[in-house]
Amino acid sequence: MPVISADLVHVEPSLSCDELQRRLLSGQTLLAESSDHLLEVVGVLESYGEVLDAYSLNLIYQAEHQFLNPVPVFKYLDGDLSPAKIWRHLNHDRINFEYAEYCQKAMFWHGTGGLDAYLDGEAFASNCQAIIAAKRRRDPLLALLNPLFPGFLPELIRSAATTHALGQFWRVMSDLFLDLARAERSGQVSTIAHVVDFIKEGLVAAAANPITYGVTIAGQHHWVLPPEAGLTFLVDVAVPYVEAVFLRGMPFLGTVSFNAQAQQISPDQAQFAYGALYADPLPSMGAGIPPSLLLQDMYRHLPEPLHQWYRQRTRGEGDVRVKICMSFQKSMFCVTNAAINGTMPHPLSTTDPQQQAANAAYALAWADRLAAGRTDCLAA
């Protein structure tokens, strides 16, 4: 007999801006403490770590070995041209590297932070010219195109630089998430608060890592992002990444109309709210939802306990990827939480009213942006 439809619809309360600010300032985690949450966040981050490992390796491979290749047919093969690997790629039995490129594009297109500023500078332009000059000598196509289209190659090199930087960023994140899973198994991490602290510490430890990128052309090494540019992990890559992928994102063709007359998309990119913290998990795996690729990758690397947990809920295996998306959103709030904690202007324990006010303003700025996000996944 038919069911009552209202029973089939679930909604969790969303958190207000004040509540978010309170949690940030009181040192409470954004995501509520519970053993389920711990299982979800650690499990999903573990599979994400595995996926990021592959993404990172491939982005770095692309930036270094497929540099300015006009027909990069084998760009996802990481240089391994064995028949078995080619077959697996043809059968699409592989990581969806397209999603890594999608994130790179988002980061590049939104263009915020120190790395982006460096790409418009004089130093970068002269590095570019040196690289193009070296490349032109052995590549007639580029030799022909560059004078006709002077903007072409520098833009590709900028894109490659972002690709490499994102690869380096994900290297750190991948290791961090896999370490987190190990720490949870060994009992060092047993609450959501531990998770947030663990990530925060990882980020702080890597904050000053230099971001550099060079290519080798005809045996000669050229810097694209030289060490003297002084680009570092946290402010020049991690922060723009969070801005571009967690917060702004890019509109999904599957849910938003690009029709200019409909004006569904803001002309101001800073107003975009399509990122991981805002996206609706329900249409996952549908048409025109790019994160479906990531969800599939994570699904293929799901740790068994979490997979088991999913099997027992709602449709079990049937809607597992939507559930992964929901857990992923929770874990991304934890990462954001760690990043905010790590960049808080002053320690939370401060008693100086001025410092407290600065902290409050900082937390408020974040809470304001997060309040429009999917805070309903955080639970009360």
Partner 1 sequence: MLLSSLLLIPFVGSLVVLLWPGGPSPQRLRLVTILILVAQLLVSLGAIALFDPTAPGMQLQELHAWVPGIGLDYALGIDGLSLPLVLINAALTLVSAVITRDIDKRPRIYFAMLLLISGAVNGAFLAENLLLFFLFYELELIPLWLLISVWGGANRAYAATKFLIFTAVSGMLILGAFLGLSLLTGTVDFSLTPVLSDRLTIGGQLLLLIPLLIGFGIKIPLVPLHNWLPDAHTQASTPLSVLLAGVLLKLGTYGLLRFGLQLFPEAWARIAPALAIWAAFSVLYGSLAAIGQTDMKRMVAFSSVGHMGYVLLAAAAGTPVALLGAVFQMVSHGLISALLFLLVGIVYRKTGTRDLQVLHGLLNPEKGLPLTGSLMIVAVMASAGLPGMAGFISEFLVFRGSIGVFPLATLLSMVGSGLTAVYFLLLVNRAFFGRLAITPPSGDAQVDGRLDVRLSPVALRETLPAIALAAGVVLLGLWPASLGHLSEAATTAMGLTIGGVA
Partner 2 sequence: MQSLSEALPLPLQFTWLIPIYGFSGMLLSLPWATGWIKRNGPRPAAYLNLLVTLLAVLHGSLVIRDVLAIGPQHLDFVWFNAADLTLRLGFDLSLTNLAALELVTTMSLVCQVYALGYLDKEWSLARFYALVGFFEGAMSGVVLSSNLFLSYFLLEMLTLSTYLLVGFWYAQPLVVTAARDAFLTKRVGDVLLLMGVVALAAWTGSLEYNDLYDWASENASTGAIAPLAGTLLGLGLIAGPIGKCAQFPMHLWLDEAMEGPNPASILRNSVVVTCGAVVLMKLMPVVAPLSPLATQVLLVVGSISAIGGALVALAQVDLKRAFSYSTTSYLGLVFIAIALQRPGLALLLLLAHGLARALQFMGVGSIIATTNCQDLSELGGIGTRMPATLLAFVVGGAGVVGLFPLGTFWCFALMLNTLLPASPLLATVFLLTNALTAANVVRVVRSVFGGSPTPKCRRTPECNWLMALPMVSLTVLVLLLPWIMQRFDPVPGIGSFPLPVALGVAGSAAAGVVVGSLLPQDQFWSRATTPWLRLLQDLLAYDFYTPEIYRRTIVALVASLARITLWVDRILIKGLVDGLGRLSLVTAEGLKLTVSGQLQSYVLTVIAALLLLLGSLQWLRGA
With 0-12 / 13-18 / 19 or more C-beta atoms within 10 angstroms meaning exposed / middle / buried, residue 355 is middle
Minimum CB distance to partner 2 smaller for 200 or for 321: 321
252: helix, coil or strand?
Answer: coil
Among 314, 345, 347, 361, binds partner 1 (CB under 8 A): 314
Question: Measured from the CB of residue 269, what is the shortest distance to partner 1 in angstroms?
Answer: 22
72 Cβ neighbours under 8 A, 6+ residues apart? 62, 66
Minimum CB distance to partner 1 smaller for 234 or for 377: 377
Please tell me whether residue 316 binds partner 2 under the rule CB under 8 A: no
Among 283, 346, 356, 379, binds partner 1 (CB under 8 A): 283
Q: Long-range contacts for 232-235 (Cβ within 8 Å, ≥24 apart)?
A: 232/114, 232/207, 232/208, 233/168, 233/169, 233/172, 233/206, 233/207, 233/208, 233/209, 234/203, 234/206, 234/207, 234/208, 234/342, 234/343, 235/113, 235/114, 235/207
Among 289, 302, 338, 370, binds partner 2 (CB under 8 A): 289
Please tell me whether residue 14 binds partner 1 under the rule CB under 8 A: yes
Task: Round to whole Å and give the CA distance between 283 and 279.
Answer: 10
Please tell me whether residue 76 binds partner 2 under the rule CB under 8 A: no
Minimum CB distance to partner 2 smaller for 186 or for 259: 259
Handedness of CA 77, 116, 275, 346 (dihedral sign): positive
Closest-CA residue to 331 (of 49, 14, 5): 49
Please tell me whether residue 254 binds partner 2 under the rule CB under 8 A: yes
Please tell me whether residue 84 binds partner 1 under the rule CB under 8 A: no
Task: Round to whole Å and give the CA distance between 174 and 168.
Answer: 10
Q: Single out the segment in contact with partner 1 by CB under 8 A; choices: 127-135, 204-212, 280-288, 331-339.
A: 280-288
Planar angle of CA 23, 25, 28, nearest 5 degrees: 40
Among 194, 283, 301, 360, binds partner 2 (CB under 8 A): 283
Please tell me whether residue 113 binds partner 2 under the rule CB under 8 A: no
Closest-CA residue to 277 (of 157, 353, 377): 377
Binding mask 147-176 for partner 2 (x = CB under 8 A): -xxxxx--xx-xx-----------------
Task: Round to whole Å and give the CA distance between 372 and 374.
Answer: 7
336 binds, among partner 1, partner 2, none (CB under 5 to 8 A by kind): none
85 Cβ neighbours under 8 A, 6+ residues apart? 77
Please tell me whether residue 140 binds partner 2 under the rule CB under 8 A: no
84 binds, among partner 1, partner 2, none (CB under 5 to 8 A by kind): none
Angstrom distances, CA of residue 304 to CA of 46, 96, 180, 227, 323: 11, 21, 16, 42, 15
DSSP character at residue 268 = S
141 Cβ neighbours under 8 A, 6+ residues apart? 70
Tell me which residues in 205-244 interact with partner 1 (CB under 8 A). Answer: none
Q: Which two tokens stand for residue 344?
A: 């808080």
Q: Which two tokens stand for residue 250?
A: 């890019």
Size of the site for partner 1 (CB under 8 A): 30
Please tell me whether residue 318 binds partner 1 under the rule CB under 8 A: yes
319 binds, among partner 1, partner 2, none (CB under 5 to 8 A by kind): partner 1
Minimum CB distance to partner 2 smaller for 23 or for 110: 110
Closest-CA residue to 176 (of 9, 3, 12, 334): 334
Minimum CB distance to partner 2 smaller for 18 or for 155: 155
Q: Which helix (H) or strand (E) holds 303?
A: none
Q: Single out the segment in contact with partner 1 by CB under 8 A; choices: 38-46, 212-220, 303-311, 316-324.
A: 316-324
Among 1, 3, 4, 260, binds partner 2 (CB under 8 A): 260
User: Footprint of partner 2 on this chain (CB under 8 A)?
Assistant: 70-73, 90-94, 96, 98-99, 101-102, 108-109, 111, 116, 145, 148-152, 155-156, 158-159, 250-251, 253-262, 264-265, 267-269, 283, 285-290, 292-293, 296, 300
User: Footprint of partner 1 on this chain (CB under 8 A)?
Assistant: 1-12, 14, 255, 280, 282-286, 314-316, 318-322, 374, 376
